[in-house]
Amino acid sequence: MEMSQRAADGWLQLVIAGRLDGYWAEHLEAGLADAIREGHHRLRLDLSSVSFISSAGVGVLVKFYKRLDAIKGVLVVERASGPVKAVLDMTRLTAMLVDDTPDDPATLTLGTTAVRRGLVCEVFELDAAARMRVTAIGGGEPVGSPADRGVSPVLLTCPSTAIAIGVGAFGSGDADGLHRFGEFLAVSGAAACLPADGTEVPDYLVATSGEAPSVRVSRGLVCEGSLLRHLRFESADRDQPTTLANIAAVCLEMAKAEATAVVVMAETTGLIGAALRRSPYESTSEDFFDFPDVRTRLTFTAEPAFRGSLALVAGVVQKTGGPVPATHLRPLGDGLSGHFHAAAFPFRAFKKGRLALADTVRTLFEDGGIQGVLHLLTDSRPVVGVGQSEFTRGACWIGAIR
Protein backbone atom coordinates (compact mmCIF):
# COMPACT_ATOMS: atom_id res chain seq x y z
CA MET A 1 0.00 0.00 0.00
CA GLU A 2 1.15 3.54 -0.76
CA MET A 3 -0.33 6.71 0.72
CA SER A 4 0.27 10.36 -0.19
CA GLN A 5 -1.44 13.47 1.09
CA ARG A 6 -2.24 17.04 0.10
CA ALA A 7 -3.91 19.79 2.14
CA ALA A 8 -6.19 22.33 0.45
CA ASP A 9 -9.34 24.35 1.23
CA GLY A 10 -9.57 23.08 4.80
CA TRP A 11 -9.38 19.42 3.77
CA LEU A 12 -6.60 16.84 3.86
CA GLN A 13 -6.75 14.57 0.82
CA LEU A 14 -5.22 11.12 1.23
CA VAL A 15 -4.53 9.16 -1.96
CA ILE A 16 -4.19 5.42 -1.26
CA ALA A 17 -3.04 2.76 -3.72
CA GLY A 18 -2.60 -1.00 -3.40
CA ARG A 19 -4.28 -3.55 -1.15
CA LEU A 20 -6.14 -2.79 2.09
CA ASP A 21 -6.01 -6.23 3.66
CA GLY A 22 -5.40 -7.20 7.28
CA TYR A 23 -1.71 -6.30 7.09
CA TRP A 24 -2.02 -2.95 5.33
CA ALA A 25 -5.10 -1.92 7.31
CA GLU A 26 -2.79 -1.34 10.28
CA HIS A 27 -0.71 1.07 8.18
CA LEU A 28 -3.85 2.90 7.07
CA GLU A 29 -4.95 3.21 10.70
CA ALA A 30 -1.55 4.64 11.68
CA GLY A 31 -1.70 7.15 8.80
CA LEU A 32 -5.20 8.35 9.69
CA ALA A 33 -4.27 8.60 13.38
CA ASP A 34 -1.21 10.71 12.51
CA ALA A 35 -3.32 13.03 10.34
CA ILE A 36 -5.80 13.61 13.17
CA ARG A 37 -2.99 14.06 15.69
CA GLU A 38 -1.58 16.81 13.44
CA GLY A 39 -4.91 18.64 13.64
CA HIS A 40 -6.62 17.54 10.40
CA HIS A 41 -10.29 16.83 11.14
CA ARG A 42 -11.65 16.91 7.54
CA LEU A 43 -10.32 14.01 5.48
CA ARG A 44 -11.01 13.04 1.87
CA LEU A 45 -9.89 9.55 0.83
CA ASP A 46 -9.10 8.74 -2.80
CA LEU A 47 -9.39 4.95 -3.04
CA SER A 48 -9.60 4.78 -6.83
CA SER A 49 -6.28 2.88 -6.98
CA VAL A 50 -7.10 0.36 -4.24
CA SER A 51 -7.21 -3.12 -5.84
CA PHE A 52 -8.64 -4.98 -2.83
CA ILE A 53 -10.22 -4.12 0.53
CA SER A 54 -11.03 -6.63 3.27
CA SER A 55 -13.24 -6.29 6.32
CA ALA A 56 -10.17 -5.13 8.24
CA GLY A 57 -9.76 -2.17 5.88
CA VAL A 58 -13.48 -1.36 6.03
CA GLY A 59 -13.30 -1.51 9.82
CA VAL A 60 -10.59 1.15 9.84
CA LEU A 61 -12.69 3.44 7.62
CA VAL A 62 -15.75 3.06 9.87
CA LYS A 63 -13.68 3.52 13.05
CA PHE A 64 -12.23 6.85 11.91
CA TYR A 65 -15.53 8.01 10.38
CA LYS A 66 -17.12 7.65 13.84
CA ARG A 67 -14.12 9.13 15.63
CA LEU A 68 -14.18 12.27 13.48
CA ASP A 69 -17.97 12.54 13.50
CA ALA A 70 -17.84 12.63 17.32
CA ILE A 71 -15.68 15.77 17.20
CA LYS A 72 -17.64 17.46 14.36
CA GLY A 73 -15.06 16.36 11.81
CA VAL A 74 -15.54 14.50 8.53
CA LEU A 75 -14.13 11.45 6.76
CA VAL A 76 -15.43 10.81 3.27
CA VAL A 77 -14.42 8.52 0.41
CA GLU A 78 -14.39 10.83 -2.59
CA ARG A 79 -13.33 8.20 -5.14
CA ALA A 80 -13.68 4.43 -4.93
CA SER A 81 -12.36 1.73 -7.24
CA GLY A 82 -14.66 -1.04 -8.47
CA PRO A 83 -13.55 -3.52 -5.80
CA VAL A 84 -13.94 -0.92 -3.04
CA LYS A 85 -17.36 0.18 -4.28
CA ALA A 86 -18.53 -3.46 -4.40
CA VAL A 87 -17.50 -4.12 -0.79
CA LEU A 88 -19.03 -0.86 0.47
CA ASP A 89 -22.29 -1.67 -1.35
CA MET A 90 -22.28 -5.20 0.09
CA THR A 91 -21.77 -3.90 3.63
CA ARG A 92 -24.31 -1.09 3.08
CA LEU A 93 -21.74 1.57 3.95
CA THR A 94 -21.75 3.45 0.64
CA ALA A 95 -24.30 6.04 1.75
CA MET A 96 -22.38 6.71 4.97
CA LEU A 97 -18.85 6.85 3.60
CA VAL A 98 -19.23 7.94 -0.02
CA ASP A 99 -22.45 9.93 -0.43
CA ASP A 100 -22.54 11.81 2.86
CA THR A 101 -20.16 14.65 1.87
CA PRO A 102 -21.09 18.00 3.51
CA ASP A 103 -20.97 21.08 1.35
CA ASP A 104 -20.28 23.59 4.09
CA PRO A 105 -17.31 23.77 6.48
CA ALA A 106 -17.82 22.51 10.01
CA THR A 107 -19.23 25.12 12.33
CA LEU A 108 -16.70 26.31 14.90
CA THR A 109 -16.79 28.80 17.73
CA LEU A 110 -13.79 31.06 17.12
CA GLY A 111 -11.83 32.90 19.78
CA THR A 112 -9.26 35.67 19.84
CA THR A 113 -5.77 34.72 18.70
CA ALA A 114 -2.80 35.62 20.89
CA VAL A 115 0.86 34.62 21.00
CA ARG A 116 2.40 34.13 24.45
CA ARG A 117 5.78 32.62 25.36
CA GLY A 118 6.11 30.69 22.13
CA LEU A 119 2.50 29.45 22.21
CA VAL A 120 -0.13 30.32 19.62
CA CYS A 121 -3.35 30.61 21.64
CA GLU A 122 -7.01 30.89 20.72
CA VAL A 123 -8.62 32.57 23.73
CA PHE A 124 -12.29 32.33 24.77
CA GLU A 125 -13.81 34.51 27.50
CA LEU A 126 -15.99 32.54 29.92
CA ASP A 127 -16.85 34.87 32.81
CA ALA A 128 -14.91 38.11 33.26
CA ALA A 129 -16.05 38.43 36.90
CA ALA A 130 -15.36 34.82 37.86
CA ARG A 131 -13.21 34.01 40.89
CA MET A 132 -12.21 30.82 42.66
CA ARG A 133 -11.63 30.11 46.36
CA VAL A 134 -8.75 27.86 47.41
CA THR A 135 -8.81 25.59 50.48
CA ALA A 136 -5.77 23.71 51.77
CA ILE A 137 -6.19 20.33 53.47
CA GLY A 138 -3.38 19.14 55.74
CA GLY A 139 0.18 19.73 54.58
CA GLY A 140 1.43 21.26 57.81
CA GLU A 141 3.64 18.26 58.59
CA PRO A 142 6.13 16.30 56.44
CA VAL A 143 4.58 13.49 54.40
CA GLY A 144 4.45 10.23 56.35
CA SER A 145 5.83 11.71 59.58
CA PRO A 146 4.26 10.61 62.88
CA ALA A 147 2.40 13.93 63.13
CA ASP A 148 1.12 13.54 59.55
CA ARG A 149 -0.06 9.98 60.21
CA GLY A 150 -1.97 11.22 63.23
CA VAL A 151 -4.22 13.47 61.13
CA SER A 152 -7.56 11.93 60.18
CA PRO A 153 -8.53 12.10 56.49
CA VAL A 154 -11.20 14.52 55.29
CA LEU A 155 -14.07 13.27 53.13
CA LEU A 156 -14.05 15.60 50.12
CA THR A 157 -16.97 15.84 47.71
CA CYS A 158 -15.90 16.89 44.21
CA PRO A 159 -18.74 18.64 42.34
CA SER A 160 -18.53 20.08 38.84
CA THR A 161 -17.40 23.45 40.24
CA ALA A 162 -14.33 21.99 41.98
CA ILE A 163 -10.73 21.33 40.93
CA ALA A 164 -8.78 19.30 43.48
CA ILE A 165 -5.42 17.54 43.78
CA GLY A 166 -3.61 15.81 46.60
CA VAL A 167 -3.13 12.50 48.40
CA GLY A 168 -6.27 10.49 48.96
CA ALA A 169 -8.29 7.36 48.26
CA PHE A 170 -11.78 6.39 47.19
CA GLY A 171 -14.12 4.98 49.85
CA SER A 172 -16.20 6.46 52.63
CA GLY A 173 -14.17 5.06 55.52
CA ASP A 174 -13.56 1.33 55.27
CA ALA A 175 -11.30 0.12 58.07
CA ASP A 176 -8.42 -0.97 55.85
CA GLY A 177 -8.62 1.89 53.36
CA LEU A 178 -5.70 3.91 54.73
CA HIS A 179 -3.20 1.73 52.88
CA ARG A 180 -4.60 2.91 49.53
CA PHE A 181 -3.79 6.61 49.90
CA GLY A 182 -2.01 7.87 46.78
CA GLU A 183 -2.08 10.72 44.25
CA PHE A 184 -5.48 11.92 43.05
CA LEU A 185 -7.00 14.69 40.98
CA ALA A 186 -10.60 15.76 40.52
CA VAL A 187 -11.92 17.95 37.71
CA SER A 188 -15.49 18.93 36.88
CA GLY A 189 -17.22 16.00 38.54
CA ALA A 190 -14.66 13.30 37.65
CA ALA A 191 -11.87 12.00 39.87
CA ALA A 192 -8.87 9.73 39.27
CA CYS A 193 -6.67 8.12 41.91
CA LEU A 194 -3.63 5.85 41.91
CA PRO A 195 -3.95 3.58 44.96
CA ALA A 196 -0.66 3.03 46.80
CA ASP A 197 -1.60 -0.55 47.69
CA GLY A 198 0.84 -2.26 45.35
CA THR A 199 -1.58 -2.79 42.47
CA GLU A 200 -0.32 0.26 40.52
CA VAL A 201 -3.67 0.31 38.69
CA PRO A 202 -5.40 3.72 38.54
CA ASP A 203 -9.08 3.99 39.39
CA TYR A 204 -11.69 6.67 38.69
CA LEU A 205 -15.18 7.89 39.52
CA VAL A 206 -17.44 10.03 37.31
CA ALA A 207 -20.49 11.94 38.59
CA THR A 208 -23.83 10.41 37.62
CA SER A 209 -27.36 11.71 38.13
CA GLY A 210 -26.11 14.72 40.02
CA GLU A 211 -24.09 12.64 42.51
CA ALA A 212 -20.54 13.99 42.81
CA PRO A 213 -17.63 11.61 43.49
CA SER A 214 -16.05 11.63 46.95
CA VAL A 215 -12.42 11.18 47.95
CA ARG A 216 -10.91 10.77 51.40
CA VAL A 217 -8.03 13.24 51.51
CA SER A 218 -5.06 13.50 53.86
CA ARG A 219 -3.54 16.55 52.16
CA GLY A 220 -4.46 18.58 49.11
CA LEU A 221 -5.68 21.75 47.46
CA VAL A 222 -9.29 22.40 46.49
CA CYS A 223 -10.32 25.26 44.18
CA GLU A 224 -14.04 26.03 43.92
CA GLY A 225 -15.88 28.57 41.80
CA SER A 226 -16.26 29.65 38.19
CA LEU A 227 -13.68 29.68 35.42
CA LEU A 228 -12.40 32.88 33.87
CA ARG A 229 -10.99 31.93 30.46
CA HIS A 230 -10.49 28.98 28.15
CA LEU A 231 -7.79 28.68 25.53
CA ARG A 232 -6.57 26.31 22.84
CA PHE A 233 -2.82 26.32 22.32
CA GLU A 234 0.00 24.80 20.34
CA SER A 235 3.71 25.47 20.08
CA ALA A 236 4.62 28.08 17.50
CA ASP A 237 7.44 25.72 16.52
CA ARG A 238 5.79 22.34 16.04
CA ASP A 239 9.14 20.58 16.47
CA GLN A 240 9.68 22.23 19.87
CA PRO A 241 7.28 21.16 22.66
CA THR A 242 6.45 23.50 25.51
CA THR A 243 6.94 22.84 29.21
CA LEU A 244 4.37 22.67 31.98
CA ALA A 245 6.00 25.72 33.61
CA ASN A 246 5.58 27.70 30.38
CA ILE A 247 1.89 26.78 30.09
CA ALA A 248 1.35 27.65 33.76
CA ALA A 249 3.03 31.04 33.27
CA VAL A 250 0.81 31.82 30.26
CA CYS A 251 -2.31 30.91 32.25
CA LEU A 252 -1.21 33.12 35.15
CA GLU A 253 -0.60 36.05 32.79
CA MET A 254 -4.02 35.63 31.19
CA ALA A 255 -5.74 35.39 34.57
CA LYS A 256 -4.09 38.66 35.71
CA ALA A 257 -4.07 37.31 39.26
CA GLU A 258 -1.49 36.36 41.88
CA ALA A 259 -2.66 32.74 41.81
CA THR A 260 -4.53 30.68 39.24
CA ALA A 261 -6.27 27.31 39.12
CA VAL A 262 -5.39 25.55 35.87
CA VAL A 263 -6.78 22.55 34.01
CA VAL A 264 -4.85 21.37 30.96
CA MET A 265 -5.83 18.70 28.46
CA ALA A 266 -2.95 18.27 26.05
CA GLU A 267 -0.92 15.87 23.96
CA THR A 268 2.28 15.11 25.80
CA THR A 269 5.74 14.15 24.61
CA GLY A 270 6.42 12.90 28.13
CA LEU A 271 5.44 13.41 31.76
CA ILE A 272 7.98 13.82 34.56
CA GLY A 273 6.79 13.08 38.07
CA ALA A 274 6.45 10.72 41.01
CA ALA A 275 3.82 8.51 42.58
CA LEU A 276 3.47 6.90 45.98
CA ARG A 277 4.11 3.16 46.07
CA ARG A 278 3.10 2.97 49.72
CA SER A 279 0.57 5.04 51.60
CA PRO A 280 2.00 7.59 54.06
CA TYR A 281 -0.24 5.96 56.68
CA GLU A 282 1.75 2.73 56.26
CA SER A 283 5.04 4.36 57.26
CA THR A 284 6.69 3.57 60.61
CA SER A 285 9.71 5.86 60.31
CA GLU A 286 10.34 9.47 61.26
CA ASP A 287 11.25 10.40 57.67
CA PHE A 288 9.13 8.91 54.89
CA PHE A 289 11.85 9.74 52.35
CA ASP A 290 14.75 8.07 54.20
CA PHE A 291 17.15 6.19 51.95
CA PRO A 292 17.10 3.31 51.10
CA ASP A 293 13.48 2.71 52.23
CA VAL A 294 12.25 5.52 49.98
CA ARG A 295 12.78 3.18 47.01
CA THR A 296 9.91 1.03 48.26
CA ARG A 297 7.70 4.02 49.04
CA LEU A 298 8.02 6.23 45.98
CA THR A 299 8.40 5.70 42.24
CA PHE A 300 9.98 8.39 40.07
CA THR A 301 10.07 8.74 36.30
CA ALA A 302 13.76 8.38 35.40
CA GLU A 303 12.76 9.32 31.83
CA PRO A 304 9.65 10.90 30.29
CA ALA A 305 6.61 8.66 30.75
CA PHE A 306 3.37 8.26 28.75
CA ARG A 307 4.87 9.60 25.49
CA GLY A 308 2.25 10.43 22.89
CA SER A 309 -0.57 10.21 25.42
CA LEU A 310 -3.30 12.69 26.20
CA ALA A 311 -2.79 14.15 29.68
CA LEU A 312 -5.41 15.72 31.93
CA VAL A 313 -3.47 18.04 34.25
CA ALA A 314 -4.91 19.96 37.20
CA GLY A 315 -3.31 22.24 39.74
CA VAL A 316 -2.43 25.76 40.80
CA VAL A 317 0.32 28.24 39.97
CA GLN A 318 1.14 31.43 41.81
CA LYS A 319 3.67 34.21 42.13
CA THR A 320 5.90 34.33 45.19
CA GLY A 321 3.86 35.39 48.23
CA GLY A 322 0.49 34.44 46.72
CA PRO A 323 -2.52 33.18 48.69
CA VAL A 324 -1.83 29.43 48.35
CA PRO A 325 0.15 28.03 51.34
CA ALA A 326 3.79 27.58 50.34
CA THR A 327 3.93 24.14 52.00
CA HIS A 328 1.66 22.83 49.23
CA LEU A 329 3.78 24.18 46.34
CA ARG A 330 7.01 23.39 44.50
CA PRO A 331 9.30 25.76 42.53
CA LEU A 332 8.52 26.16 38.81
CA GLY A 333 11.16 28.79 38.02
CA ASP A 334 10.89 32.49 37.07
CA GLY A 335 9.57 33.35 40.53
CA LEU A 336 6.63 30.98 40.19
CA SER A 337 5.60 27.97 42.25
CA GLY A 338 2.88 25.42 41.70
CA HIS A 339 1.45 21.99 42.36
CA PHE A 340 0.11 19.82 39.52
CA HIS A 341 -1.17 16.26 39.14
CA ALA A 342 -1.79 14.51 35.82
CA ALA A 343 -3.84 11.55 34.60
CA ALA A 344 -2.65 9.99 31.34
CA PHE A 345 -5.01 8.55 28.69
CA PRO A 346 -4.53 7.09 25.20
CA PHE A 347 -4.46 9.88 22.61
CA ARG A 348 -7.76 10.93 21.07
CA ALA A 349 -8.76 14.00 19.11
CA PHE A 350 -11.29 16.60 20.21
CA LYS A 351 -13.21 19.05 18.07
CA LYS A 352 -11.61 22.38 17.32
CA GLY A 353 -12.70 25.69 18.78
CA ARG A 354 -14.25 26.18 22.19
CA LEU A 355 -14.67 23.13 24.44
CA ALA A 356 -16.96 22.70 27.44
CA LEU A 357 -14.82 21.45 30.32
CA ALA A 358 -17.43 19.17 31.91
CA ASP A 359 -18.35 17.47 28.62
CA THR A 360 -14.71 17.13 27.59
CA VAL A 361 -13.64 15.55 30.88
CA ARG A 362 -16.63 13.22 30.94
CA THR A 363 -15.88 12.03 27.41
CA LEU A 364 -12.25 11.42 28.34
CA PHE A 365 -13.14 9.24 31.34
CA GLU A 366 -16.08 7.45 29.77
CA ASP A 367 -13.86 6.27 26.92
CA GLY A 368 -11.76 4.58 29.62
CA GLY A 369 -8.17 3.49 29.29
CA ILE A 370 -6.67 5.65 32.05
CA GLN A 371 -2.97 4.79 32.07
CA GLY A 372 -1.64 6.39 35.25
CA VAL A 373 -1.67 9.28 37.72
CA LEU A 374 1.42 11.33 38.59
CA HIS A 375 2.45 14.21 40.83
CA LEU A 376 4.30 16.33 38.24
CA LEU A 377 7.78 17.51 39.20
CA THR A 378 10.72 19.45 37.79
CA ASP A 379 13.91 17.38 37.79
CA SER A 380 16.57 20.09 37.63
CA ARG A 381 19.51 17.97 38.80
CA PRO A 382 22.74 18.77 36.90
CA VAL A 383 23.60 16.33 34.09
CA VAL A 384 21.21 13.53 35.15
CA GLY A 385 18.04 15.62 35.51
CA VAL A 386 15.29 14.89 32.97
CA GLY A 387 13.64 18.34 33.14
CA GLN A 388 9.87 18.60 33.30
CA SER A 389 6.72 17.51 31.51
CA GLU A 390 6.34 18.72 27.92
CA PHE A 391 3.36 19.18 25.60
CA THR A 392 2.71 20.04 21.96
CA ARG A 393 -0.91 21.21 21.72
CA GLY A 394 -4.06 21.19 23.78
CA ALA A 395 -6.56 23.21 25.77
CA CYS A 396 -6.53 25.07 29.11
CA TRP A 397 -9.18 26.32 31.48
CA ILE A 398 -8.18 29.11 33.85
CA GLY A 399 -9.67 30.25 37.14
CA ALA A 400 -8.40 33.33 39.03
CA ILE A 401 -7.91 32.59 42.75
CA ARG A 402 -8.87 35.39 45.09
Looking at the structure, do residues 363 and 277 belong to the same domain, yes or no? yes
Looking at the structure, do residues 137 and 68 belong to the same domain, yes or no? no
Amino acid 29 reads: E
Final residue in a domain of this structure, among 97, 120, 146? 97
Q: What are phi and psi of 186, to 5 degrees?
A: -135, 130
The answer to the question of residue 102 being in a domain is: no
Report how many domains make up the chain: 2
The answer to the question of residue 239 being in a domain is: yes
Contact 1, 16 (CB under 8 A): yes
Contact 338, 313 (CB under 8 A): no
Nearest in space to 158 (alpha carbons), one of 220, 201, 108: 220
Q: Residue 189: its pLDDT value, please? A: 92
The answer to the question of residue 79 being in a domain is: yes
Looking at the structure, do residues 337 and 219 belong to the same domain, yes or no? yes
Final residue in a domain of this structure, among 62, 97, 132? 97
Q: Residue 107: its pLDDT value, please? A: 43
Looking at the structure, do residues 82 and 143 belong to the same domain, yes or no? no
Neighbour tally for 346: CB within 10 Å: 13
Q: Residue 75: its pLDDT value, please? A: 92
Prior bond of 346 cis (ω within 30°): no
Looking at the structure, do residues 46 and 125 belong to the same domain, yes or no? no
Instruction: Quote the domain boundaries for residue 138.
Output: 112-400
Final residue in a domain of this structure, among 68, 97, 126? 97
Looking at the structure, do residues 24 and 133 belong to the same domain, yes or no? no
The answer to the question of residue 105 being in a domain is: no
The answer to the question of residue 263 being in a domain is: yes
Q: Residue 100: its pLDDT value, please? A: 46
Looking at the structure, do residues 350 and 396 belong to the same domain, yes or no? yes
Q: Residue 245: its pLDDT value, please? A: 95
The answer to the question of residue 107 being in a domain is: no
Q: Residue 343: its pLDDT value, please? A: 97
Walk along the chain (402 residues) in steps of 10 and give the mean pLDDT of each run.
Answer: 80 89 89 87 90 92 91 89 90 81 47 86 91 93 87 90 95 74 95 91 86 92 95 88 95 93 96 94 86 89 93 95 91 90 92 88 85 93 86 95 88
The answer to the question of residue 217 being in a domain is: yes
The reported pTM is 0.80
Looking at the structure, do residues 89 and 123 belong to the same domain, yes or no? no
Which CATH number belongs to the domain containing residue 16 in this structure? 3.30.750.24
